[in-house]
Amino acid sequence: MCGRFSQFHSWEEVHAFLNIFGAPRNLPMRYNIAPTQDAAIVRHGRPGSSAGRSLDFLRWGLIPSWAKDNSMAARMINARAETVAQKPSFRDAFKKRRCLVPTDGFYEWRGEKGAKQPYRILNPDRGLFAFAGLWERWEKGGESIESFTIITTEANNKLAAVHARMPVILDPADFESWLSPDLAANEALALLRPAPDEAVEFHAVSKHVNNARNDDPECITP
């Protein structure tokens, strides 16, 4: 699974990496994003627009459009690649509302309950990568919430030492295909594979990251 991640690169870096449009923005420095908090995602055009890629802030934890209330969000932070095309909570978004989730890295925990060691997983060159995600809009009683989920798959050989699963890290060459609403379901599923071992590395970090209220550079310090 993926239960925490970070987003602290500048607008210029995110803009260049993901080819997004719009005026420069001051992006928040987030070192410890937790479920139900807002985070940046990139999608193909703003709702109702045919423009290029846009960066928007959505709530982490997908709320299906048919949900009676928004209480499902905390349980919908991840979607399994193996079932994402069939599960009622995700299948419509998988067909029509795919997105990229830019990140500087994410966290996993290993060990016995009560004594788990947190690890930070990141790009070996310390650059950005992007998770495969889905987004949805929920409306009820005048309230409207846009939310997203991160798709996970089996861990590659390197990360299997830390956790059995990992987020789908898309190859930049596949960004446009993933975002396209014209991509066939079987072609989209083919992109949901573990990243190569050489695409990631990890190191232990302080248990400071365990507390979601801690959102500072100490979270990422080896």
Catalytic residues: 2, 108
Closest CA to 59 of 176, 150, 131, 159: 150
The residue type at 16: A
Residues listed for the chain: 222
Distance CA 49, CA 165 (A): 35
Distance CA 30, CA 21 (A): 22
Q: Where are the alpha helices (DSSP H) in 72-140?
A: 91-96
Distance CA 128, CA 67 (A): 33
